[in-house]
Structures are given as structure tokens and as C-alpha cells.
Amino acid sequence: MTEAKLITALNKDNLSHISKTYVPSRLLLGPGPSNAHPEVLNALSLNPIGHLDEAYISLMSDVQKLLRYTWQCNNRLTLPMSGTGSAAMEASIANFIEEGEKILIAKKGYFGDRLVDMATRYKAQVSVIDKPWGEAFTYEEIKYEIETKKPAIFAIVHAETSSGVLQPLEGIGDICRKNNCLFLVDAVTSLGALELLIDEWKIDLAYSCSQKGLSCPPGLSPFTMNTRAEEKLSSRKTKVPNWYLDLSLLNKYWGSDRVYHHTAPVNMNFAIREGLRLIANEGLENVWNRHNTNAKKLWNGLESLGMELLVPEDYRLPTLTTVKIPPAVDGDGFRNHLLRNFGIEIGNGLGELSGKVWRVGLMGFNSCEENVNRLLNLFDTELKKFSIFESSTF
Ligand SMILES: Cc1ncc(COP(=O)(O)O)c(C=O)c1O
């Protein structure tokens, strides 16, 4: 090609004026991503090595061991999938559903809807049980539905990031086993932050993300499955209809063969190894306690400033608090003010809660007393500037 025919950077929309990449400093106290730990960022910035290099293979084994600890399980097939939480969510559906199979989805927010959408695309026979956003299911409700609907898979979100609800999971695994059903859990906003006992709670399949409790950037989705799930996978009559997320292929790379499947995002795996190592060093129970303590401090502080929280304390989610926007307040105005003038991100409500709540996240590295105090102080001093009526109080 001659020089004249090239679309040059100089004459194409003045591309030469695009500056070196710059990202403003932010404290991410929304629904995620959360800030990455500085040690994670150091690991992320290392030069890549080959994804079949023996040094990398040894690092992969560390990631798997650390993940088993963080998931509290002994599952052989435990790995970080390439892609954000939705990738492992889709893998959980694509690999375990065959056309016409029954899945029961307990839906109490936005991410339950996403499970329904995915299961429908993979041609499952989908049954849904619904709860209003802000409420959790009872053990009895779930037991009744599984016993009467007899699904092949029961799926539920542990920590519903859209509503701020923490769903109790104990006992559901036993119901699933008695009814010959796989128990699938979305742990995107709980892994590495809240009590989650995969083996003890008899969870057969679970997935999460890297950008919340694990203090990493988005890009990987930890996944784990036990032998019940392995048996279901190996008894499939049809090929998994998604090549990239096919667990039997991924198993050849993450299992003992270490055979190439796709080029692993090696730097993200350096990062997750570091995030998981920091959790193991702190101790899982200490990590859970830290998240609970900081969340309680936030809840008490907000309530003493007159704010109302959407979810009752019994099933309120420590990693994500939904705060009702007082009727006399410009919710977007306050949120934008925090971002533009203080570099702090909090989230708007999602879906049907949009404009009704703010979503405040305390996850991973960001769950610390200093961040809670900083945010409470801003609610105290800045919120009044966003009152729609001059004289209103909340
Ligand atoms: C509960 C839940 N499930 C699934 C997802 C999807 O994960 P991702 O956005 O990383 O793909 C999210 C995202 O925040 C989530 O909060």
C-alpha cells in the first residue's frame, strides 16, 4: 500500500492529539469494581510470560490452591475463567443445561433476571420464583419450590448487588441432594468478603468475579464445581454449545494436562494470585469480620444521620448497602458531586431501584474504617446542599 492510501494518524480525526493514557484517582465505593490493592497492581504490571511456561504453570497451581481456600472447598475443578463474572455465570448455564432441562431460578433482583435470560438462551425449561427487590427467600419457600418443581438445577444469587440482600444458603444443599438437583450459587459479591462455605453448604457449582472481594481489576471470574457437577457434565448427551466456556476443554488446561485452550490473560492471573494471597495472609475469618464490622459502622453512621436503609438488618448485605434517597434530595446531583469534587464513586440504584437508592459498596481492600469515616463525613456535610426544598431536613 502506498503512503498516500494509508489513513494516517495525523489526518484521521487529529488522533495525534490524543494524550497518553491518564486515569483520575478514584475511591470506588459503589457496586464494583472496587479499588485494586497496591500489591495487586504491582503484580499486574509485571512483564507477561508465556501461558505454558513452567513458571506460569506453577503460578496457576498457586491460584487454584488459594481459590480452594477462599471458596472453602476441595473441588478439583476450581479455576479463574477468563472474562468478568458474567463469563463464569454463562459457563455455569452453558455446561450444565441441555435443551429442555428444568432449571429453577430464585429471583430477587437484577442478577436473577440475568440468570433467567441466559438459561432461556440455552433453551432450558425455566421456572422462576420471585421476591420483591429488598427481600430474601425463606428456607421453607425454597424447599417447597424444589420439592414440587423437581428441577435439574436450582440457582440463586447469594449477595444480590442490585438490592443489597444477603440470601441465607444453609440447608438448601441438603434439599437439592434429596431431590437430585444441582445447587448453583452466584457469589459475585460475596467471595473473599463474606462467609461462604462451598463444601459445608453442599454447593455444587459457584462463580464469582475478581473486582470486588478479591481486590483485583475486573477480568477474571473464579469458578468451582464438585464431583456431582462433574458427573452431570460427563453425562451430557450433546456438546456444550459454547466453545470458549466449555469446561471439559478448560479442564485440559487447568487440570493435569496443561494443554493450550486459549491464551490465558496472564497478567490478570498474576493479579488474582496476589489478591488471593493477601486474603490468605490476613485469614479468611478476619477478612469476613472486617467486612461485617465496617458495614455495621456504615449502617449505624448513616442511620444516625437520618438516612433509611432499604433492607432489614437480618439479611442486609455487608458488601453493598442500599440507602434510600430521601424524597427531598437530588440523588444524582449528590452522587455526581461526590465523584467530581471528592473523587468518590457511589452507585445509583439498578433497574427498578434506579433513582430510589444509592448503592454503597465496601468490598475487599476498600472495606476499611477510614473509607467509612470519609463517606459518613461527606453525607454529613455535603448532602444538605442537594436538598430540593431549601429548608428540608432528613
Ligand atoms: C450478583 C452479580 N452477579 C453477576 C454479576 C456480573 O458480573 P460482571 O459484571 O463482572 O460480568 C454481577 C456484577 O456486578 C453481580 O453483582
Q: What is the pTM of this model?
A: 0.96
Whether residue 10 is contained in a domain is answered as no
Q: Per-residue pLDDT tens for 64-102?
A: 999 999 999 999 999 999 999 999 999 999 999 999 999
Q: What mean pLDDT is predicted for residues 105-113?
A: 96
Beta bridge pairs of residue 321: 360
Same domain, 60 and 172: yes
- In the chain, the percentage of residues whose pLDDT exceeds 90 is 92
- pLDDT for residue 9: 63
Quick one: DSSP state of residue 120?
H
Q: Where are the alpha helices (DSSP H) in 95-138?
A: 110-121
Domain count, the chain: 2
Residue 391 has pLDDT above 80, yes or no: no
The verdict on the CB of residue 269 being under 6 Å from ligand 1 is no
CB within 8 Å of 260: residues ≥ 6 apart: 51, 52, 253
Could you say which of 230, 255, 281 is where a domain stops?
Answer: 281
CB 264 within 8 A of CB 272: no
Whether residue 137 is contained in a domain is answered as yes
102 — phi, psi (to 5°)? -90, 130
Tell me the CA–centroid distance for residue 89 and ligand 1, in Å: 9
Same domain, 211 and 103: yes
Same domain, 169 and 262: yes
- pLDDT for residue 255: 86
The verdict on the CB of residue 113 being under 6 Å from ligand 1 is no
Q: pLDDT band at residue 2, thresholds of 50, 70 and 90?
A: low
Q: What mean pLDDT is predicted for residues 156-182?
A: 98
- pLDDT for residue 297: 98
- pLDDT for residue 257: 86
The verdict on the CB of residue 386 being under 6 Å from ligand 1 is no
Can you give the CATH number for the domain in which 182 is found? Answer: 3.40.640.10
Q: Which atom of ligand 1 is nearest to the CA of 86?
A: 11
Range of the domain at 297: 27-33+284-386
Distance between CA 235 and CA 306 in Å, rounded?
Answer: 56
Q: pLDDT: is 391 or 27 the higher one?
A: 27
Tell me the CA–centroid distance for residue 111 and ligand 1, in Å: 7
Same domain, 239 and 360: no
Same domain, 372 and 259: no
- pLDDT for residue 243: 97
Tell me the CA–centroid distance for residue 246 and ligand 1, in Å: 20
Q: Per-residue pLDDT tens for 203-231?
A: 999 999 999 999 999 999 999 999 999 99
Could you say which of 281, 303, 328 is where a domain stops?
Answer: 281
Q: Per-residue pLDDT tens for 284-343?
A: 999 999 999 999 999 999 999 999 999 999 999 999 999 999 999 999 999 999 999 999
The verdict on the CB of residue 209 being under 6 Å from ligand 1 is yes
Mutating to test ligand 1, I would choose from 82, 189, 272 the residue with most ligand atoms within 8 A of its C-beta, which is: 189
From 292, 307, 54, 92, select the one nearest 190 (Cα to Cα): 292
- pLDDT for residue 256: 81
Do the bridges between strand 320-324 and strand 182-186 make them parallel or antiparallel, or are there none, so unpaired?
unpaired
Mean pLDDT of the chain: 95
Q: Per-residue pLDDT tens for 53-65?
A: 999 999 999 999 9
Residue 392 has pLDDT above 60, yes or no: no
Residue 390 has pLDDT above 90, yes or no: no
